[in-house]
Structure 1
Amino acid sequence: MIRPPRILAIAGSDSSGGAGIQADIKTITMMGGYAMTAITSVTAQNTRGVTAVESLSPEFVAAQIDACLSDIGVDAIKIGMLGNADIAEVVADRIEDLSCPIVFDPVMVATSGSVLADEATIEVFEWLMELATLTTPNVPELAALGGDAAMARRGVAYLAKGGDADGPMVIDRLERPGLAPVEWNEARIVTKQTHGTGCTLSSAIATRLAMGDPLEHAVAAARAFVREALMAAPGFGLGNGPLGHQAVGRRD
């Protein structure tokens, strides 16, 4: 029996199941990985927004990471919502010496518009970007991180996601130090069922990297997964609904 790759998702919990740890678990599982979690925060949220957030202690977040790494081990890590600067720092400290691929989704604002990272937390993102194999900012996140010029100065690999930009086409651009950019340009899927797209994409990339895919191929496969999940969205909720993770790949 071939063992699945082990993916540790470090992120917040979404009570409505569309984003965060819940989206991570669904994505990793549907793509053939084994999902483990270190939950940073617990949220009360749905498709219309976040109504409450309770962050766990940095020590407990670290304990979750240690429990997974010391026993099961890990083939890739995905980092999403961190909650506060102290948690961000302890996560960076725990993963600093790991050799596996790390995908960092610098979550700052939810699809609904709720703010999920303060300025102090964003400052720690510098450390996490240095450690990450890939950082995956959307349009406003890239701007908050200083734009393409600042990312180039940092010398980090990043995927500039274009889903938040205007226009009929979505352009995602992979930038890697010393290499030519790679762009994917596809027609926009017009839908409001977009809750958890960033979480899903980053988890999918991490899973494919754990399987041994080169970075460009991992991004391409993850993008295809997200687009299929968008088209299979069940239409739940009154706001930005969740993706159809469970329907990806089905042919019945």
Structure 2
Amino acid sequence: MTIAGSDSGGGAGIQADLRTFAFHCVHGTSVLTCITAQNTQGVTRVDAMSAQAVAAQFEAVMVDMRVSAIKTGMLLNQEIIQITAKKLVAFGCGNVVVDPVMVSRVGAKLLDDDAIHAMGDLLLPIAAIATPNRYEAQILAEMEIHTLADMQAAAQKIYKLGARSVLIKGGGMTGDLKAVDVWFDGDRLETLQTEAIDTIHTHGTGCTLSAAIAANLALGKPNLQAVQDAKVYVTTALKYALAIGKGQGPVGHFFPLQRLR
């Protein structure tokens, strides 16, 4: 299941998540939190779903189907974060991947302070895996992140907020740290590195990564393996990124089909 917003341009959000689930051969369900008017150049409008609508979507799926893993993306406001956390606890959801969408990978703030506090207080303690980017990790860990040592320290601090494991994404880092992520689960502190792909068409990478992690968890993979396999998927999708529109295109979720053309 993905609990996230809709991207009308199809590059991120629910659309990216469902394509990622399909690639991994798992059935995707969805809870829509907001609707955006969006394309490769940016977002021009956002309309939030009511908390009641979010709850109704979640309950409709959960009472009928066995959901093996869940990812959260853009939850938009404090009320939606609160109802999401409440329902995840009420239904005893275990494999929850929290992509704490608070700040974009270029540093633009996406949530207000009340929503950010709700994210840290209510949602992170439910997370099997939390996947903050550099700027989100800075907020959650209350520290600046410039070096690998900073990433490692921040991962350990965020772990103490309740998440069972933390993956700090290096997409917002510079230089040699650009394709480096840091993993911490209370025991293992790992530096994960994949090939850095030189492309501007990276729209939806964060959504895609957390969706791929959730799909791998649904397939029964251990947490760290789920993350490692998801990173390989995203890296390959970046190699086949789509140069569509006038701005930043999306990653190529369906790259096996592109290879056949």
TM-score by length of structure 1 reads 0.92
Distance in 2 (alpha carbons) for counterparts of 1:249 and 1:215: 28
Which AA in structure 2 matches 1:136?
Answer: T
Aligned residue in 1 for 2:18: 25
Distance in 2 (alpha carbons) for counterparts of 1:125 and 1:117: 10
Distance in 2 (alpha carbons) for counterparts of 1:167 and 1:192: 16
Question: Could you say what the CA RMSD is over the residues aligned between the two structures, in angstroms?
Answer: 1.7
Contact preservation (8 Å) 2:182, 2:191: yes
Which AA in structure 1 matches 2:167?
Answer: L
- Once the two structures are superposed, residues 48-95 of structure 1 have per-residue CA deviations (whole angstroms, 9 ceiling, x without a partner) of 111110001000000000000011231110000001100000000000
Aligned pairs for 1:1-252 within 5 A? 8-97=1-90, 98-110=92-104, 115-126=109-120, 127-146=122-141, 147=143, 148=154, 150-156=157-163, 157-168=165-176, 169-177=178-186, 179-248=187-256, 251-252=259-260
Contact preservation (8 Å) 1:43, 1:53: yes
Which runs of 5 or more structure 2 residues have no equivalent in the other structure?
144-153
181 and 162 in structure 1: CA distance in 2 versus 1, 3 angstrom threshold: same
Contact preservation (8 Å) 1:161, 1:172: yes
Give the drift of 1:248: 4.0
Which AA in structure 1 matches 2:182?
Answer: R
153 and 110 in structure 1: CA distance in 2 versus 1, 3 angstrom threshold: closer
- Once the two structures are superposed, residues 20-49 of structure 1 have per-residue CA deviations (whole angstroms, 9 ceiling, x without a partner) of 000000001111110100000000111111
TM-score by length of structure 2 reads 0.89
Partner SS for 1:52: strand
- Once the two structures are superposed, residues 89-145 of structure 1 have per-residue CA deviations (whole angstroms, 9 ceiling, x without a partner) of 000000014243000000123457654311111111121110010000000110011
- Identical positions, percent: 40
187 and 247 in structure 1: CA distance in 2 versus 1, 3 angstrom threshold: closer
Q: How many residues align?
A: 244
